Amino acid sequence: MREPLALENNQKIVLIDGGKMDTVYLRVNSENPDETSLKKAAELIRKGELVVFPTETVYGLGANSFDETAIMKVFEAKGRPQDNPLIIHISNMEMLKEVVSQDVGSFSALMNLVWPGPVTLIFDKNKEIPNSVTAGLKSVAVRFPSHPVAQELIRLSGVPIAAPSANLSGRPSPTMEEHVIEDMDERVSCIILSGPTVFGLESTIIDLSRGRPSLLRPGPIDPDQLKGVLPDLHVPEFVSGRKEYLGDPMSPGLKYRHYSPDIPLILVEGETGMVVAKVGILAGRKKSLVLCSEEMKDYYPVQVKKVVLGSRDNLLEVASNLFKELRNKENKEYSQIIAEPFPETGVGLAIMNRLRKAAWKIERA
């Protein structure tokens, strides 16, 4: 990798030598994005190229939603199964009309509440959206992100952007700059670097295309908050991660194993005292690292490496740190990662969903 080239307004571009593709790196301020820099990325989107960009949830791997050739590049770059649908990102409500065919008027209160923000809604799709985006489904997942860089990139591109998380398929989603560099360098035309993401977990997904609204993937938004405008919201058992989803996947994260770190992750579930004892036993067998809460760290054996994700009273902090620690390269010196369980309230439901899907093994204490 060459040294960054200094540009006006403290912007930088890094050019990558050799390899599969010359990747252009753009550093863009997350709160006040430079339009000149983003115009370069938007032009690449319009030309059918791939651009990695930040959102408030995780970094996304973006392509023109109407360009089937570009969409196939997304699956190739990630190594993603083609029956795993993508999420389309929009920058205004007019753009929604280009993506969906469903009358969404009855959901205006919900959209006003959650958009822009970390919530994906599933509607009947517009026929202009290629079937490759939706894995052949008649419905499409749509999100209006709140991240200023994402919004500006979509606006300047002039097209809705289809974007799964910008990681190799199966790995924990990227929440830090180094994550997307590690996974997407030389696989895409451009990577926009804007620092760490805010939430650190993928969006909440709600299906509005099939009668009763249904939560398909928990995320940063508390399902109980959504029930204020969706009183009949259905929360299926598979949302917790304890059971497998059956049927065609309506959204990302339903069919395939996700979020797995490079070394074995063991999740210990049960009552607090029993969890502590079980972790001690498991940690004594191999060189172990324990992902834990601030409140529990002192209960685990002294000789065990403890990584505090945050307080049990601040699960948003835990969520924002989870993928960062699952991808931490320093963890590779350990034989296994052991994780304690977290309360399944609010964003805690999403935390436990991700831990259960990432776990190589779940131990009952």
What tens digit of pLDDT does each residue of 87-120 get?
A: 999 999 999 999 999 999 999 999 999 999 999 9
- Residue 348: pLDDT over 50: yes
The candidate with the shortest Cα–Cα distance to 166, out of 153, 182, 154, is 182
Cα gap 349→220, rounded to integer Å: 9
Report whether 77 contacts 184 (CB < 8 A).
yes
What's the rounded mean pLDDT across residues 246-252?
A: 58
pLDDT for residue 258: 64
pTM of the model: 0.90
Strands in 336-339's sheet, in edge-to-edge order, are 305-310, 288-293, 336-339, 265-269, 361-364
pLDDT for residue 3: 37
Complete domains list, the chain, with CATH: 5-240 (3.90.870.10), 265-364 (3.40.50.11030)
| SS3 (DSSP) at 336 | strand
pLDDT for residue 246: 53
pLDDT for residue 243: 65
What's the rounded mean pLDDT across residues 172-192?
A: 97
Terminal-residue alpha carbon distance, the chain: 47
In terms of DSSP H, where are the helices of 79-127? 93-96, 108-114
The pLDDT tens digits of the residues spanning 279-314 come to 999 988 889 999 999 999 999 988 889 999 999 999
Cα gap 349→125, rounded to integer Å: 29
The DSSP result for 164-216, as a single string, is -BSS-TTSPPP-SHHHHHHHHTTTSSEEEE----SS-SPPEEEE-SSSS-EEE
